[in-house]
Amino acid sequence: MESLRFVLPQSEIPTHWYNVVADMPNPPLPPLAPDGKPATPEQMGAIFPMAILEQEMSSERWIQIPQPVREIYRLWRPSPLVRAARLEEMLGTPARIYYKNEGVSPAGSHKPNTAVAQAYYNKQAGIKRITTETGAGQWGCSMALAGQMFGLEVRVYMVKISYQQKPYRRSMMQTWGAEVFASPSAMTQTGRAALEKDPDNKGSLGLAISEAVEEAASRADTNYALGSVLNHVALHQTIIGLEARKQFELAGDWPDIVFAPCGGGSSFAGIAFPFIADNAAGGRNGKPVRLVAVEPSSCPSLTKGQYAYDFGDASGFTPLMKMFTLGHDFMPPGIHAGGLRYHGASPLVSQLYKEGLIEAMAVPQLATFEAGVRFAHAEGIIPAPESNHAIRAAIDEALRCKESGEAKTILVNLTGHGHFDMASYDRYFSGELEDFDYPEEAIKASLQHLPKFG
């Protein structure tokens, strides 16, 4: 019987993260302070520990993973690489499809890869409390879990609509010891101002980030942690691609094309960046691996956004980053992949896209659920709605292979399971889900508010 699961021993958990900056043709553009000058480490030090800021600015190719972090990773890593043979058969494709299953972490997604590292560095720096935001709940759960592992208090501002729709994500965070508030909340000036304007405000990721940053900046014992977008988050996630490369060697195969969902861009960065090192050296089989970020067509930051300096949050508390953005006050339509409802994309992912080293595509919501259900029928696993975006793209590629007769090797980042997203699946089954058109007018209006320099 042919092996379908490629599992590394725990001794093979990578010892270093890979920093793509070392292989980028041009250095990344620096974050800017609101006055337009490069943000100083002192300004950023109000909310991040120095070790993380060093990683944020580093151009070292390899950065050592601290042993206590590897010891926590050991609870679920290395994650399996699995050949989706039943899906291939169902599609009747000559393509070989593999998925890297990040849904096996205790929180159910790739997010603990960075949450554990961030909790460790904050603990080392003497920090007692972490504030953060969560949209769909995956990141908040991951930070709650990591805080528990290192004895840090965690306070999560959860986008109000998710707080109401996903009570069990809230219970999970509470089980791991975190405090959870619906955002906008009465706890911060930002929250109070938003509620005054609209007592019914359902919240957004940008607003929740503003609340968490405001609180962290006002207390010396408290730092802030972000679950995506920033360079250090992308760095920590590279453990996914580093393991996958070793697992492909075990399988005696190598990907031609990699698909990952793209919200802030960390899971895409995590699986794709280690292959950029190969591509920079001419590619394994003499050809580069194609690396494709898949975003929702209703929140298309890479494919329809503008490459410009913009804030990472709705209120303008964060430094300005050069990224593909839809405008920091863009309110994405109510799509069900909550983790993809972010106005921008990681500056590293954005720059690599701008320079043509990676690709991006957008897919509509209904097609992603159709793909997720097909995947569940074939492979058993019910994917997170975010992961369904990458699965949609992979299925379409496999069907193109069926037409052309090509036996391509396709790799998908299965970033999480969908066990807490069944209300969204229910809405899909009952026909209540819709495709939201790319809201051109809303994006145009929001892009009017881009900061005026950079």
Of all residues in the shown chain, the one whose CB is closest to ligand PLP is 339
Q: How far is the CB of 119 from ligand PLP (least distance, A)?
A: 17
Burial class (CB in 10 A: 0-12, 13-18, 19+), 212: buried
8 Å CB contact between 98 and 83: yes
Please say which residue, 93 or 204, places its beta carbon nearer to ligand PLP.
204
Give the chain as a 3 state SS string.
CCCCEECCCHHHCCCEEECHHHHCCCCCCCCECCCCCECCHHHHCCCCCHHHHHHHHCCCCEEECCHHHHHHHCCCCCCCEEECHHHHHHHCCCCEEEEEEHHHCCCCECCHHHHHHHHHHHHHCCCCEEEEEECCCHHHHHHHHHHHHHCCEEEEEEEHHHHHHCHHHHHHHHHCCCEEEEECCCCCHHHHHHHHHCCCCCCCHHHHHHHHHHHHHCCCCEEECCCCCCHHHHHHHCHHHHHHHHHHHHHCCCCCEEEEECCCCHHHHHHHHHHHHHHHCCCCCCCCCEEEEEEECCCCHHHHCEEEEEECCCCCCCCEEEEEECCCCCCCCCCCCHHHCCCECCHHHHHHHHCCCCEEEEECHHHHHHHHHHHHHHHCCCECHHHHHHHHHHHHHHHHHHHHCCCCEEEEEECEECCCCHHHHHHHHCCCCCCCCCCHHHHHHHHCCCCCCC
- Contact letters (x/-) for ligand PLP, 106-125, by CB under 6 A? ---x----------------
Determine which residue in the list 262, 321, 335, 362 makes contact with ligand PLP, applying CB under 6 A: 262
256 binds ligand PLP (CB under 6 A): no
Report 389-428 residues binding ligand PLP (CB under 6 A): 415-416
Residues 329, 334, 336: CA angle, nearest 5 degrees: 125
Q: Which is nearer to ligand PLP, 251 or 260 (CB)?
A: 260
Q: How far is the CB of 138 from ligand PLP (least distance, A)?
A: 3
Residue 267 binds ligand PLP, judged by CB under 6 A: yes
CA pair distance 158, 175, nearest whole angstrom:
16
Tokens 């090797």, residue? Answer: 409
Asked if 99 and 84 touch (Cβ cutoff 8 Å), the reply is: yes
261 makes contact with ligand PLP (CB under 6 A):
yes
Stretch that binds ligand PLP, among 114-122, 199-207, 240-248, 383-391 (CB under 6 A): 383-391
User: Which among 174-182, 246-254, 257-265, 359-367 is the span making contact with ligand PLP, rule CB under 6 A?
Assistant: 257-265
- Is 387 a binder of ligand PLP (CB under 6 A)? yes
Which range touches ligand PLP (CB under 6 A), out of 18-26, 134-142, 161-169, 272-280? Answer: 134-142
How many residues form the binding site for ligand PLP (CB under 6 A)? 20
Cβ 413 to ligand PLP shortest distance, Å: 8
Does the protein bind ligand PLP through residue 358 (CB under 6 A)? no
Per-residue x/- mask for ligand PLP, residues 172 to 211, rule CB under 6 A? ----------------------------------------
When binding is defined by CB under 6 A, the residue of 264, 300, 319, 344 that contacts ligand PLP is 264
Per-residue binding string, ligand PLP, 9-48, x by CB under 6 A, is: ----------------------------------------
Q: Does residue 266 touch ligand PLP according to CB under 6 A?
A: yes
Q: Determine the Cα–Cα distance for residues 450 and 445; give it in Å rounded to an integer.
A: 10
- Pick the piece of the chain touching ligand PLP (CB under 6 A) from 54-62, 63-71, 192-200, 255-263: 255-263
Residue 222 in contact with ligand PLP, rule: CB under 6 A: no
Least spacing, CB of residue 344 vs ligand PLP, in Å:
11
Tally of residues, the chain: 454
- Of residues 329 through 348, those in contact with ligand PLP by CB under 6 A are 339-340
Which span (67-75, 152-160, 198-206, 259-267) binds ligand PLP, by CB under 6 A? 259-267
323 binds ligand PLP (CB under 6 A): no
Q: Which residues are within 8 A (CB) of 35 and not within 5 positions of it... i.e. 6 or more apart?
A: none
Contact residue for ligand PLP among 73, 98, 120, 139 (CB under 6 A):
139
- Give the nearer residue to ligand PLP in terms of CB position, either 340 or 381: 340
Note whether 319 binds ligand PLP by CB under 6 A: no
Q: Which position among 386, 388, 397, 424 is part of the footprint of ligand PLP (CB under 6 A)?
A: 386
**Site residues, ligand PLP (CB under 6 A):** 109, 136, 138-139, 228, 261-268, 339-340, 384, 386-387, 415-416
